[in-house]
Structure 1
Amino acid sequence: MKIVDAQFLTSAQSIIDSPAPDKAEVAFLGRSNVGKSSLLNTLTNRKGLAKSSSTPGKTQLINYFDIKFKTSNEELPYLYARFVDLPGFGYAKVSKSLKRDWNKNLTGYLEERPCLQIFVHLVDARHTELEIDKNVDDFLQTIKRGDQIIIHAFTKIDKLKQNDLQKLKRAYPDGIFISNLKKRGLEQLQNKITGYLFGN
């Protein structure tokens, strides 16, 4: 199964002005500058699909993208989902409280969106112990419903020494390790997403 089309749908300020919850959604979230836009563009093979702000942490909109997958099933050749690009959080500071740092509308989306199935928490592979990321993870574990999963994806692994990468993999055996530059880990991430949304 692979992505054959990706289109920007709309931006929303909150769950109130978000599109109808008629497709399974995958939310991508992470600290500003973690490489979220680059990952979305590489994953969908659409350069410029997700636009990064010139000022990290400035964008405060929830961006929705319609994603089309090609299957090997002749009776059901295409499946659909949405990728949701959430604003980066915690730029240049560490906060004790995600809710104080992050706009309440984004928290509302994460807690209340009925079609949200997967949280993809992006973490810079060089900085895995930041308090802001631990806060986010604790928050997601607290709100996660039984029909949702959290995927931990570590970005910028090309900037790690091989020994440090192996240590990271041992520390996070369920993690996905990504390099947009060298296009590593992208297929694994997509397979984990489609496997959960649609089964194998």
Structure 2
Amino acid sequence: MPPIHNVLNGATFVLAAHEITQLPYDAGAEVAFAGRSNAGKSSALNALTGHNGLARTSKTPGRTQQMVVFDLPPLKGEEGTAPLVARLIDLPGYGYAKVPEAMRMHWRGEIDAYLKMRRSLRGVVLIVDIRHPLKDFDRMMLGFCADTELPCHVLLTKADKISRGQASAALEALRKQMRTDGVPGTAQVFSSSAKTGVDEARARIIELLKTPRAHEL
């Protein structure tokens, strides 16, 4: 795939919200990033936007404890239509054992409310470590996307840590499971450090942002 113009390169930090009521006005289009705390979500965001420091990375997983909002440059629409206001939302890393139970319960509720109620949400990018089987959170997210017809794009991260053959087998197994479970989505191999699949992922995210969901038509 040839390199594409990286609209995501214009991502700028707006705010970090503790509750969905603190998010920007619910209009335009946004794509949310979700994943377990050690799956490489921050590194993926940094690679996709071309900003090494945009999303915090840490040797200690689970640093993202708020919904972090990044504005994108307006996306050009069809001829004669206004540019589309667009955002990326980095959801709190899920599953880090040292987060207090009260915090885990809070974020479970907030993420659930966000996914169900946010009208401008057009898709989810789910970050999964390619070296491990799907975890409960991953399965829950894929199941939610299937139930609500929310488009999902899975990044199988850290692909540089395994062989090309292993990566291809893991990708095919995931795609087969998504088809079986009726998940409306796509999946790809990805590596932040080796820049594997970065252009493909950028193109898919922009496609998600530009594609209205049924309730918007």
Q: Pick the TM interval, shorter chain.
A: 0.7 to 0.9
Q: In the alignment, what sits opposite 2:182?
A: none
Contact 2:32 2:123 in 1 (8 A): yes
1:189 aligns with 2:189: no
In structure 2, distance between residues paired with 1:84 and 1:28: 6
In structure 2, distance between residues paired with 1:56 and 1:126: 17
| Shift in alpha-carbon separation, 1:152–1:53, aligned structure 2, 3 A | same
| Per-residue Cα deviation, 1:39-79 (whole angstroms, up to 9, x for no partner) | 111111112111135642353210000112676x9988x75
Which of 169, 172, 179 aligns to 1:170? It is 172
Q: In the alignment, what sits opposite 1:123?
A: 128
Report the CA distance between 1:8 and its aligned residue: 0.3
1:111 aligns with 2:113: no
In structure 2, distance between residues paired with 1:25 and 1:85: 10
Instruction: Provide the identity percentage.
Output: 35
| Shift in alpha-carbon separation, 1:61–1:53, aligned structure 2, 3 A | farther
In structure 1, distance between residues paired with 2:158 and 2:59: 19
Q: Structure 2 regions of 5+ residues with no counterpart?
A: 99-103, 176-185, 212-217
SS in 2 for 1:151: strand
Contact 2:30 2:86 in 1 (8 A): yes
SS in 2 for 1:118: strand
| Shift in alpha-carbon separation, 1:57–1:188, aligned structure 2, 3 A | same
Q: In the alignment, what sits opposite 1:11?
A: 16
Which of 44, 52, 66 aligns to 2:49? It is 44
Report the CA distance between 1:139 and its aligned residue: 3.1
| Shift in alpha-carbon separation, 1:79–1:92, aligned structure 2, 3 A | same
Report the CA distance between 1:13 and its aligned residue: 1.1
RMSD over aligned CA atoms reads 2.8
TM-score scaled by length of structure 2: 0.76
Q: Structure 1 regions of 5+ residues with no counterpart?
A: 94-98
SS in 2 for 1:181: coil
1:31 aligns with 2:33: no
In structure 1, distance between residues paired with 2:17 and 2:29: 17
Report the CA distance between 1:2 and its aligned residue: 2.2
| Per-residue Cα deviation, 1:169-191 (whole angstroms, up to 9, x for no partner) | 32234411111111111111111
Aligned length: 191
Which of 156, 181, 192 aligns to 1:154? It is 156
